[in-house]
Each structure stands twice: as C-alpha cells, then as structure tokens.
Amino acid sequence: MAEEIFDVVVIGGGPGGYVCAIKAAQLGLKVACVEKRGSLGGVCLNVGCIPSKALLASSEKFEEAGHHLSAHGIKVAGVALDLKAMLARKDKVVSDLTKGIEFLFKKNKVTYLKGNGALLGGGKIAVTGETSQTISAKNIVIATGSDSTPLPGLTIDEKKIITSTGALSLEKVPEHMVVIGGGVIGLELGSVWRRLGAKVTVIEFLDRIVPTMDGEIGAMFQKILTKQGMEFRLGQKVTGAKAKGGKTELTVEPSKGGAAETVIADVVLVSIGRRPYVEGLGLDKAGVKLDEKGRVATNGHFATNVPGIYAIGDVIAGPMLAHKAEEEGVALAEILAGQKGHVNYETCPSIVYTSPELASVGKTEEELKAAGIDYKVGKFPFMVNSRAKAAGDTDGTVKLLADAKTDRLLGAHILGAGAGTLIHECVMAMEFQASSEDVARAFHGHPTHNEAIKEAAMAVTGKPIHM
C-alpha cells in the first residue's frame, strides 16, 4: 500500500497543533494531525487550562455559598462539599470540549491519526499506536507542547507528590497542601484546594511570587492571597522529601543558604515550571537542532534548520501559553498556504485565574526601567469603581504604563475581578498602538469594571475623575 502524502502533518493535537491543522485545512491544504493522548486538546484541555478553570469556578461558588452570600442578604445553611460531583463536572467539561475538536476535524476534513508520531527523515513520519502506519508530508509541524519540570529529590507519584495533573483529581481535600513554586499554575490550583478546606503553604525560591508580572501589582496580589488564608515562604527551596506516617516530610532551607528545617504535608504540588516535550520524536534522526534550553530552534517564521520542518507552541522559545501557541498555529498555516502570517508577541497577555484574577500585557515597570525608557504611570483602584462596589469585589487595581514622550500605551496590569477579560481592552489598544489619551477618551459604559481602565488612563497624564 502506497504511503499517504499530506501537504501538512502536525505532530501534537494541543492548542497550537489542532488550531494549525484546522486553519491549514481551511486554506485548502491536505492535513493530518497525529496525537498520542487519545483525545485532542493537549495538556491545556485535558489536564491543564480547562479542567483547572472548571475547578476554580466550582470552588469559588463553594466558598461564596459558605462565606460571602450573607452580605447580599442571602442566608445559606448546611453548605457541604460533594467533591466527587465537582470532579465529575470537571471531567464532563473536558469531555465535551475534546469531542468538539474531533467534530471540527471532521468538519474541516483534517485526518486524525491516534498514535505517537516520530520523524524518519525525508519527510516521512512513523505513526505507532491505535493508528500504525508511515505517512509522508511536504511540511511537518512539531507542536508537542510541554510537561512539568521535575524537582531533584522528589519522586512524582501523583498521589502524595503531584504535578498539576494529580492536583486536578485528588480523592479528598488534604489537610495541608504544600505548593512548590509561586507561579501561575501553583497559585491557581493552590487556591482551589484552599477554598475547599486545605491549609495551603507556597514555597518559592525567589523573594516574590509571579516573578514575570509587575512587581508592585505582584506584591498587592500576594497580600490579597495571604488575607484569604494562603501562607507564603519566599526565598526558600525544597532540597528533599521522604514519606513518613502517610505524610511527606520536606526539607526546606533558605535559597541563599542557611539552616534547614522540616515541613510536613499531606500533599505536595510540584509546580516549578514546564519544559518542552521533545522525547521520542526522532528529531535527531531528522537532523532537527535544539537550542540551549532544549527547545526546538526556529527562525522568525517557525522554520527549523531542516527544510520542510517547523515548530510552534511550548516546544519553541517564548511564553508557554495556549493562546500564544494558537496564534503561532494560525500564522504558520497561513505561511504554508503562501500567505503572510505574523504574530505580535508584544501584545500577548498573561493571566492568573485566581480570585481576584491577575492579568498583564506589555512591559512591566521593572522592564521599562531596565531598558531606560522614560514612562508615566496611571492607576485606579477598584475600591472606588461603582460596579465593583455594587458587586462586592473591590480588591485590586488597574495600572497603566505609557511612553512619557509619545503617550503610547506600553503596558497594562490589572488585579481584580474579571481581570482576564478586562485586559483585552488594553491588548486591543496596544495592538493598534493607542495612547493612554485614546483609551481615556473612548466611551466606557457605566457602571462597568472597565471604567477603572478609563480612569487609570486619565491618571497617566492628569487626574482621574472619581478619586
């Protein structure tokens, strides 16, 4: 039987891979997508972004019912947690969405091959698994994503010492959860289990949490999470772990050196970052080069050093974000179809889906200072925003950064309810190179949380009205 030849074969069915496959097919190319998981959507949809957001939403409702509705004149008695039902709802959300992607593949005539894809060289790919065959492609796209970075001295069993995957399916609420790493994933999942009743301690190597975010906003964020009940131990590192009496004893010491101590936990969530997934892909056989961090090396158009082989998403340089991978998937599909695909990384937002949310786009104050750029700052707190006051979600603030000479918006940082949605007003403004005055003069419906952005923009060059 002759090998089937495709215009494009995408290895990996995550956000970057499946979006690239669909877009390429929509542009008239013959496309196949190889995915070994058995369900499409990658880490994000199966054991990442989506199930974590389902649990975040459910846990927020649980906490609201138990602690916050009385302020609205709603009396609730006998609130109880049905963890099994909560996890089942999470699983259904994931199942519905993965089936939706399969439907989109059929609708757009993308061939879905279930199995592991490995490069053989010469444009050939061996698929082994539920589907076992050799196929050929004019263009190959590596979109295999990333997996959790391990911590030396700790063995992951997804029961007592877990990654984000295990944190989505715990059979009971732990008495004490220790989160190693004060980044996005650890804070989101830690906040889920804190709301459900666990004591949560975050151990972070650096002297601050969310280190890529604006420092001032990050400090505010930590204060709010501490007020909610999270404990933070900054500037410390975990150097070992051992099981004892059904619990885990962690050895913790200052990052800069000092006496070690023991911290006992029921569950330890290792969340120190992610690493590109390149194992078993046959990259060496095909001659594909990696960079100094083990990522697939690409040029500005996602091409590797081997003609006809490309890469996108977590497996290449840049932030490991689903929406970054999706934009790269679309741009690459356009390039392969002979169009001019492009990604503007300057307007890629970052979001922490805790409660309140933290969202950012563009430069932080620290980055502007380091670059020697003269800038102006405008801030406005949600405490005096009428909609936030009415809703009872006044924690947080909006902070905008603009060029001191041109007034062009350079960065936006929002801490507050719905920040992950609000930030996109700033993303769009920056995409069209708007000034803070442009944002300040634009209509903002009243009463809305968005008015805080308008007021912060007014504060860049003058004074806000309502403060």
**Cα 110 to Cα 388: distance, rounded to the nearest angstrom:** 45
Q: Are 450 and 443 in contact (CB under 8 A)?
A: no
**Cα 417 to Cα 453: distance, rounded to the nearest angstrom:** 13
Compute the half-sphere exposure of residue 297: CA atoms within 13 Å on the CB side of its CA.
Answer: 11
Q: Are 443 and 423 in contact (CB under 8 A)?
A: no
Q: H/E element holding 102? A: helix 83-107
Q: Is 177 exposed, middle or buried (0-12, 13-18, 19+ CB in 10 A)?
A: buried
Hey, how many other C-beta atoms are within 10 angstroms of the C-beta on 211?
14
Residues identified as active-site: 446
Hey, how many other C-beta atoms are within 10 angstroms of the C-beta on 443?
7
315: nearest Cα among 19, 8, 12: 12
Q: In what order do the strands lie in the sheet with 236-244?
A: 236-244, 247-254, 261-265
